[in-house]
Structure formats: structure tokens, C-alpha cells
Amino acid sequence: MKLRKSATALAITAVLAVTATACGSGSDEGAKNDGKITIGIKFDQPGVGLKTPDGKYEGFDVDVATYVAKELGYEAKDIEWKQAPSAERENLIANGDVDFVVASYSITDERKQKVDFAGPYFLAHQDLLVRADDSSIKDAKDLNSKKLCSVTGSTSAQNVRNDFAPQADLQEMGGYSECLTGLENKAVDALTTDDSILAGYASQKDHQGKFKLAGLNLSDENYGIGLKKGDTELQGDINKAIEKMVEDGSWEKAVKANFGPAGYKNEPAPKITETS
């Protein structure tokens, strides 16, 4: 799939459309969403991917996706954002519901059996978010016999159970916001996912002072941009866009804008590894 849009391509598409109409054909193969591009993001991750109450989209992943789309020839107004919950990302890509996914999507060998990735474009680490007044959880092993929350389809909670706390009582929710509500109400004892996501939640005005990060680097999470398997041309175009974003300073600017308020200390931009 080649998504890069150019004046020449648009002109050719217009000619083909006229020709098809003259021939009585109803096919619109080759034109996708009338010059639009559909990108899957999270809608409920402050600092990463968030749909605000007024219908706007913000976060580091949104900034990355917008930059990549522009390099492919699409302005911000051409982007159609689609919610991409963790458990649905592979299906959205495989079914063609999105052109690609930028949704705190960690690159794993298991996922690469179903989709391809471009990137990585960010390196996060798995951590725990606990209540600010909870001093009982200082290490991942302290989660044994405690209620640990994460979202359905995420690898984070399984990592904890497999490697650190096999007796943790895993509670899987549809979204991180549900886990956060459970944490605040003491229905669960900890929320686990990437530190970037946790920092985004902890820095929200309504949450400041209520929660804290445990400060544990439980894993390395290389965020990649998910796309349909075998689309090497799109993979290459996205990789070039990521490299350009890093080189021209836009990547660092986006990191500081979205994570800086939480005092989050990010890793440098990772090297591109997903190539064909």
C-alpha cells in the first residue's frame, strides 16, 4: 500500500475517475477515503493519545502520527482518527480499518507474526502507579496477593506475573482510565503499564498528588508504528519520516511538550530497527 500523496498522483486519480465514470464502472479501487488517511491511536491515554471532551486529539503519539502523515502528503485536516484499544490493534490493521496504528504499540515477536512495524520511535519502560500514600509497594514482588490492574490485550500485567509476582491478582479492564478509577477507589492496589503513560495520568490536574510512580524499570518497551504485514513500501516511508522528525528537532519538542510537565526523564530516540 502506497499512501504517499502527490499532485501527480491526484491528477492521475482524477483522470481515472473520469474514465471509470464514462465506462459506467462503479469501482473506486485505488482511491482511499477521498484523500483522507485513517490512523489508529489511543483515546484515553493523557500525554500519549487522548481525545479531549471538546473532540480534539493530543499527545505524543498524535504528534508523531501527524508528522508522519504530513511526510506522506497529508495535512492534519486529512487525518481521520480511529480509536485503537490494545486488544483491537491487530484486527484494525488486518481488516484495513486503519492505514497504520500509533498507539503506545510495543514491538514484540508475537505481534510481528500478525503485523509489521516501522520504527521504533520511542523507548519506554514498564513501571507501576500506586496511591501516593501507599508505602507497601516498593518492588514488583510486593504485588504478590495484591490486586494488579492493566488493560485487556496488554503485555504489562503478564510480564509482572510471569517474572516478578506470580501470585498477583490480575484485574483486566477495557481501558487505563478504568484502572485509574479502581486505583483511586482502592478496588485495585496498582496499575501497571509503560512509564510514559503512567506519567501522563499522574500529571493531570485532577490527579496531581494522588498517585506516584514506583520508579521501576521492569522492561524495555520499544514503540513501533503498526501496519499491514508485507507493506514494505509504507514501512520505508514511515521510517524516513521518523528519522526526519528526530533530526529536525520535532521529536524532542513533542517529548517535552507532552511529558515534561510530569518531570518525566525520557530515553534518547531509539535507532530504527524495523526494516525489510
Answer yes or no: is pLDDT of 263 > 60. Answer: yes
- On the question of a common fold for 35-123+222-262 and 124-213, the answer reads yes
In 207-221, which positions are buried (b, 16+ CB within 10 angstroms) versus exposed (e)? Answer: beebbbbbebebbeb
Cell numbers given for 49 = 493519545
The three cell numbers locating residue 228: 499491514
Summary mean pLDDT of the chain: 87
Mean pLDDT over 86-112 rounds to: 96
Angle at 269 between CA 267 and CA 271, to 5 degrees: 120
In the prediction, which pLDDT does 250 show? 98
pTM above 0.85, yes or no: no
pLDDT, tens only, 206-217: 887 888 888 888
What's the average model confidence in pLDDT over 65-75?
98
- For residue 94, the model assigns a pLDDT of 97
Residue pair 60/255 in contact (Cβ under 8 Å)? The answer is: yes
Nearest to 194 by CA among 211, 218, 173: 218
CA–CA gap between residue 195 and residue 62 (Å, rounded): 18
Query: How far is it, in rounded angstroms, from Cα 192 to Cα 179?
Result: 9
- Tens digits of residue pLDDT in 201-256: 887 778 878 888 888 889 899 999 999 999 999 999 999 999 999 999 999 999 98
pLDDT of 54 over the 90 cut: yes
Q: Is the bond into 120 cis (omega within 30 degrees of 0)?
A: yes
pLDDT tens digits, residue range 162-174?
899 999 999 999 8
| 124-213 CATH fold | D-Maltodextrin-Binding Protein; domain 2 (3.40.190)
Q: Which CATH number fits domain 35-123+222-262: 3.30.70.270, 3.30.70.3270, 3.40.228.10, 3.40.190.10?
A: 3.40.190.10
- Ranges of each domain in the chain: 35-123+222-262, 124-213
8 A C-beta contact, residue 78 and residue 72: no
